[in-house]
Homo-oligomer: A and B are copies of this chain.
Amino acid sequence: MPYVNIRITREGATAAQKAELISGVTKLLQDVLGKNPATTFVIIDEVDTDNWGIAGESVTVLRAALAR
């Protein structure tokens, strides 16, 4: 019955990679806590880099600074 919310920046994660996250997290919860995959929710939120801040700056700005 776990609910897992994975939040990442919207930077090109493919459907295959998201499927891998879903199956990996579901298996981890089954292995560690014996949770039933049939009632394990995994929800992935992809967030625009303007909308994600770390160290007081948006990821957009941080990525641009790295690229210079």
Contact = CB atoms under 8 A, between A and B. Distances in A.
Interface residues of A, number: 50
Interface of A: 1-9, 13, 15, 17-29, 32-33, 35, 37-47, 50-61
Nearest to A21: B32
A56 B22 contact: yes
Contact of A50 (B15, B24, B60): B15
27 contacts: A1-B9, A1-B52, A1-B54, A2-B7, A2-B8, A3-B41, A4-B5, A6-B29, A15-B58, A17-B32, A19-B53, A19-B58, A19-B61, A20-B32, A21-B28, A22-B57, A23-B57, A38-B55, A39-B54, A40-B56, A41-B53, A41-B54, A42-B53, A43-B52, A43-B53, A44-B53, A45-B47
